[in-house]
Amino acid sequence: MRTLAVIVVLGLMGAAPLAHADAWRARPALELGASAACEQADVSDLFFDLSDMGHELSLRPSRGEALLAPIGPDGSVAATFTVPVGRRNLAVDLTGNVKNREMEVFNKQYACRFKLVPVR
């Protein structure tokens, strides 16, 4: 009987998820004072689905490839990835903090900085 109880308990523990992902969606908002080149970037239909997976941030843009970025012990995250904007693929640096959801993307080529504003 004890063996059966142990198997049932282990089975229940195995069925439980190991990590609960905290997910949200964010849209890029151009920072004030940006250059004219930045203002021409059409990001109106661009959004990012983000998910805190514990030690990694899952980032899935509405256009482009998904990626995983390591999360530091303090919640900090930094990654570089490519996102399609109009007819161009632009390299952007993602920096910020997962814990307070304050993040931004920055394109060095045009010096454009976008804050990622949570929408849900």
- 87 secondary structure, DSSP code: T
Would you give the distance in Å from CA 116 to the centre of its chain?
A: 9
- Each residue's pLDDT tens digit, 3-54: 434 343 334 444 334 455 799 999 999 999 888 889 888 899 999 999 999 9
Cβ contacts of 90-99, under 8 Å, gap ≥ 24: 94/59, 94/69, 98/50, 98/52, 98/57, 98/71, 99/74, 99/75
Q: Of the candidates 50, 5, 4, which has an alpha carbon nearest to the alpha carbon of residue 24?
A: 50
pTM: 0.78
The 3 state secondary structure assigned to 1-41 is CHHHHHHHHHHHHHHCCCCCCEEEEEEEEECCCCCHHHHCC
